[in-house]
Chains A and B, each alone.
Chain A
Amino acid sequence: MSTQPILSIRDLARRYGAFVACANISFDVWPGEVVAIVGESGSGKTTLLNCISGRMERSSGEVRYRMRDGRFPDLQDLSEAERRFLARTDWGFVHQNPADGLRMRVSAGANVGERLMAIGDRHYGNIRQTAADWLERVEIAAMRIDDKPVSFSGGMRQRLQIARNLVTHPRLIFMDEPTGGLDVSVQARVLDLLRMLVADLGLSVVIVTHDLAVARLLSQRMIVMKSGHVVEQGLTDRVLDDPRHPYTQLLVASIPEN
């Protein structure tokens, strides 16, 4: 692991009018690390993730990102063009609902190829081959390359969304409840795939989940949120095996026994 964080959040806050959705949030993400943000519904996880990933304006605080050239700017100080370029090259965003992250009316191949075309790839044959390779990596049969995601099952759609995000070899992936909308039987397969890809590609990940089992499986570090504030953070194993804050203890105690 590198000695410098890839992402650094300091004193981040976001208000909706007078309502504080999250505040006093500070943490770092190190290269190759998976950080899970957990907490019950309404605790401000999605708001936090959207503020970090530049999808929503924060009310105050800093979010710094390590660019490929080593610079470490606050994302707010980048131009909109630079931010959007980062978002479709260096980053990925996996939505809970695949329809929010896919183009449902174009083929699987085009969904995967879109980012390549966005960065200037103009060779149809190469784009298609790369798309086919990625479909295979997310366990979608290559023969489905010309099918539209509307004809895919929920699990396939989610795997397609993952492929679409990874095709430009991003360094940082944001995920918001990536398995939240899936049947329990399908969740395990998507989680396994995610775990494998994250390890293979050395991705840094910030994942939001209300499901501690997902956090346990994927993350090395955990941030526990309650009412917009971080109540506890630390190594995932430590937090889950030895929760210190009463709220975390309550959360951990409520995990159904396997």
Chain B
Amino acid sequence: MTGTDALPAYNFAYLDEQTKRMIRRAILKAIAIPGYQVPFASREMPMPYGWGTGGVQVTASVLGPDDVLKVIDQGADDTTNAVSIRAFFAKVADVATTTKTTEATIIQTRHRIPETPLEAGQILVYQVPIPEPLRFLEPRETETRVMHGLEEYGLMHVKLYEDIAQHGHIATTYAYPVKVEDRYVMDPSPVPKFDNPKMHCSPALQLFGAGREKRIYALPPFTDVVSLDFEDHPFAIQRFEAHCALCDARNVYLDEVVTDDRGGRMFVCSDTDHCETRRTEGHRGTGLPQTEGGETASTSREAAE
């Protein structure tokens, strides 16, 4: 049957079962030692590094035929990266996909944690570019490994000290380091620090995959995740003055988007699913026309990047 077919025959979810078992073993180890970076034999994926190959391999290894997959990039389901990863899994695993946080069993993400609180049974898979939080000040891998082993984390505070010395406050706004279960210091990948509190004691399983760096780490459900800080400069999330111009949401992460070529701008939810859900519920922001038919006011996110 395949003899005439020029296309290679893919296994379910692209990776062969052997590889998936290897990755699952790494994931299990990562879950057993929350925040610890487990090395794994990262495979070539049919997409370049930087496109989330680590996250894709983790997703491929935990995905089953009955799963419902959501993929977000910068909080949006409709960006190129999110669309192509979703299409990839729809093709190689034939799984159902969704943009709804509440319907998804697996959510692969770059940059955001959904605003809708996650629930038990859901898995959040992060695409991680640089897993090593100590890398910034200690480039030697042999040394960072010892530092993790001996819990020598003074360097993390050196970085925060530099922030305050230079900017008057801790200016790190994303990939903000956390301590996991009072043991390992972990880089939460490039999510905004706004999302750090959502990692703490989440009922969902959180898995982190770094393809190029060949590392997997995890936060099992209900894990303690504490953002590092100083007594006199305590951790604080970003505060937005504005409400979302489309759905009027407050206390959510907002993106500033350009609305026209005359310098018009507005703040809208970075989480597109959250925003759309609120609008279907009848919430309306000041950026929408006062008549019915809010759909016409949807902004072009691509143009904003």
Are A and B part of the same complex?
A: yes
User: Is A113 touching B166 in the complex (CB atoms < 8 A)?
Assistant: no
User: Is B230 touching A103 in the complex (CB atoms < 8 A)?
Assistant: no
Cβ of B232 < 8 Å from any Cβ of A? yes
User: Is A146 touching B165 in the complex (CB atoms < 8 A)?
Assistant: yes
User: Is B162 touching A110 in the complex (CB atoms < 8 A)?
Assistant: yes
Cβ of B150 < 8 Å from any Cβ of A? yes
Measured between alpha carbons, how far is A109 from B162 in the docked complex, in Å? Answer: 9
Contact A123-B158, Cβ < 8 Å, known A103-B137, A146-B166: no
Q: Summarize B's interface: helix, strand, loop or mixed.
A: helix
User: Is A117 touching B137 in the complex (CB atoms < 8 A)?
Assistant: no
Task: Return A200 CB to nearest CB of chain B, in Å.
Answer: 26
Contact A124-B232, Cβ < 8 Å, known A113-B158, A115-B154: yes
Inter-chain contacts of B157 with A (CB < 8 A): 117, 122
Cβ of A125 < 8 Å from any Cβ of B? yes
User: Is A123 touching B150 in the complex (CB atoms < 8 A)?
Assistant: no
Cβ of A63 < 8 Å from any Cβ of B? no
User: Is A103 touching B158 in the complex (CB atoms < 8 A)?
Assistant: yes
Inter-chain contacts of B152 with A (CB < 8 A): 84, 118
Which residue of A105, A113, A125 is within 8 Å of B232 (Cβ)? A125
Which residue of A103, A117, A123 is within 8 Å of B231 (Cβ)? A123
Measured between alpha carbons, how far is A128 from B165 in the docked complex, in Å? Answer: 9
Contact A123-B232, Cβ < 8 Å, known A110-B161, A110-B162, A146-B165: yes
Cβ of A80 < 8 Å from any Cβ of B? yes
Inter-chain contacts of B155 with A (CB < 8 A): 114, 117-118
Contact A127-B231, Cβ < 8 Å, known A114-B154, A115-B154, A119-B154: no
User: Is B158 touching A106 in the complex (CB atoms < 8 A)?
Assistant: yes
Q: Which B residues, 165 to 220, have Cβ-Cβ distances below 8 Å to chain A?
A: 165-166
Cβ of A81 < 8 Å from any Cβ of B? yes
Cβ of A107 < 8 Å from any Cβ of B? yes
Contact A109-B165, Cβ < 8 Å, known A81-B150, A115-B154: yes
User: Is A107 touching B162 in the complex (CB atoms < 8 A)?
Assistant: yes
Contact A124-B158, Cβ < 8 Å, known A109-B165, A118-B152: no
Contact A124-B164, Cβ < 8 Å, known A103-B137, A106-B137: yes
Measured between alpha carbons, how far is A122 from B161 in the docked complex, in Å? Answer: 10
Task: Return B150 CB to nearest CB of chain A, in Å.
Answer: 5
Inter-chain contacts of B164 with A (CB < 8 A): 124
Q: Which B residues, 3 to 39, have Cβ-Cβ distances below 8 Å to chain A?
A: none
Measured between alpha carbons, how far is A124 from B231 in the docked complex, in Å? Answer: 7
Task: Return A128 CB to nearest CB of chain B, in Å.
Answer: 7
User: Is B158 touching A84 in the complex (CB atoms < 8 A)?
Assistant: no
Q: Which B residues, 224 to 254, have Cβ-Cβ distances below 8 Å to chain A?
A: 229-233
Measured between alpha carbons, how far is A255 from B150 in the docked complex, in Å? Answer: 47
Most buried by A among B152, B230, B233: B230
Inter-chain contacts of A103 with B (CB < 8 A): 137, 158
Q: Which A residues, 114 to 142, have Cβ-Cβ distances below 8 Å to chain B?
A: 114-115, 117-119, 122-125, 127-128
Task: Return B251 CB to nearest CB of chain A, in Å.
Answer: 28
Measured between alpha carbons, how far is A80 from B146 in the docked complex, in Å? Answer: 9
User: Is B233 touching A124 in the complex (CB atoms < 8 A)?
Assistant: yes
User: Is B154 touching A117 in the complex (CB atoms < 8 A)?
Assistant: yes
Which residue of A84, A105, A127 is within 8 Å of B161 (Cβ)? A127
Measured between alpha carbons, how far is A123 from B150 in the docked complex, in Å? Answer: 23
User: Is B162 touching A106 in the complex (CB atoms < 8 A)?
Assistant: yes
Inter-chain contacts of B165 with A (CB < 8 A): 107, 109-110, 128, 145-146
Measured between alpha carbons, how far is A167 from B150 in the docked complex, in Å? Answer: 22
Measured between alpha carbons, how far is A106 from B154 in the docked complex, in Å? Answer: 14
Task: Return B154 CB to nearest CB of chain A, in Å.
Answer: 3
Task: Return B151 CB to nearest CB of chain A, in Å.
Answer: 8
Inter-chain contacts of B146 with A (CB < 8 A): 80, 84
Most buried by B among A81, A106, A124: A124
Q: Which B residues, 25 to 67, have Cβ-Cβ distances below 8 Å to chain A?
A: none
User: Is A110 touching B150 in the complex (CB atoms < 8 A)?
Assistant: no
Measured between alpha carbons, how far is A105 from B162 in the docked complex, in Å? Answer: 10
Measured between alpha carbons, how far is A70 from B282 in the docked complex, in Å? Answer: 73
Task: Return B294 CB to nearest CB of chain A, in Å.
Answer: 47
Measured between alpha carbons, how far is A32 from B166 in the docked complex, in Å? Answer: 39
Measured between alpha carbons, how far is A207 from B141 in the docked complex, in Å? Answer: 31
Task: Return A102 CB to nearest CB of chain B, in Å.
Answer: 12
Residues of A within 8 A of B (CB): 80-81, 84, 103, 105-107, 109-110, 113-115, 117-119, 122-125, 127-128, 145-146
- 13 new A-B contacts, CB < 8 A, other than A84-B152, A105-B137, A107-B166, are A80-B146, A81-B150, A103-B137, A103-B158, A106-B137, A109-B161, A110-B165, A113-B158, A117-B157, A117-B158, A119-B154, A122-B231, A146-B166
Residues of B within 8 A of A (CB): 137, 146, 150, 152, 154-155, 157-158, 161-162, 164-166, 229-233
Q: Please name 12 pairs of A and B residues whose Cβ atoms are closer than 8 Å in the assembled complex, sorted by A.
A: A80-B146, A84-B150, A105-B137, A106-B137, A106-B158, A109-B161, A117-B158, A118-B152, A118-B155, A123-B231, A123-B232, A128-B165
Give me the 10 closest cross-chain CB pairs, A-B, nearest first: A118-B154, A117-B157, A124-B230, A117-B154, A81-B150, A123-B231, A110-B161, A110-B158, A146-B165, A125-B232
